[in-house]
C-alpha cells in the first residue's frame, strides 16, 4: 500500500484485502487526500465495495461466530425472579410512634 494516488481498481483490491484481514483502519490511514476524495466521489468504488462485503460475508459465514446470549438471559431471568420474591416477601411496615415525644406532650398537657 505504499503506492501514492492508486487507481480505483487498486484501492478496491487493497480494501478487499483489508476487509478480509480485518485491517480497515490501516487501509483508511494509508489513503492520501486525493485517494480519499476519489473514493468519496466514485460510485463505482462503492458498488464494488458492497459486492466485496457480500462475498466476504458468504465466504466466511461458516466461520463467523455469533454471540451466545443464553447466559445473559438466564441471569436476567434470575434477577427478575429474585425481585419478585422480594416484593412478595416484603410486608408493609408499621409506623413506629416516637414514645418520647408523645410522653413529653402528654406530660405537658397534664401540667397545663
Along the 112 residues of the chain, how does pLDDT read in single tens digits?
455 688 888 998 898 888 888 888 888 888 999 998 988 898 888 898 898 888 888 877 666 555 677 777 888 888 888 888 888 876 666 566 555 555 555 555 555 5
Cβ proximity of 12 and 49 under 8 Å = yes
For the chain, the maximum distance between any two Cα atoms, rounded to a whole number of angstroms, is: 103
Cβ proximity of 8 and 35 under 8 Å = no
Domain ranges for the chain: 1-85
Cβ proximity of 14 and 1 under 8 Å = yes
Amino acid at each position: 500500500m505504499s503506492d501514492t494516488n492508486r487507481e480505483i481498481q487498486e484501492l478496491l483490491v487493497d480494501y478487499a484485502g483489508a476487509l478480509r484481514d480485518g485491517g480497515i483502519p490501516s487501509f483508511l490511514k494509508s489513503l492520501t487526500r486525493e485517494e480519499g476524495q476519489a473514493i468519496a466521489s466514485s460510485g463505482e468504488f462503492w458498488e464494488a465495495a458492497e459486492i466485496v462485503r457480500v462475498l466476504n460475508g458468504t465466504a466466511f459465514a461458516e466461520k463467523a461466530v455469533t454471540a451466545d446470549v443464553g447466559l445473559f438471559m438466564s441471569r436476567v431471568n434470575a434477577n427478575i425472579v429474585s425481585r419478585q420474591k422480594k416484593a412478595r416477601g416484603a410486608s408493609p411496615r408499621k409506623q413506629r410512634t416516637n414514645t418520647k415525644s408523645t410522653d413529653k406532650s402528654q406530660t405537658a398537657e397534664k401540667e397545663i
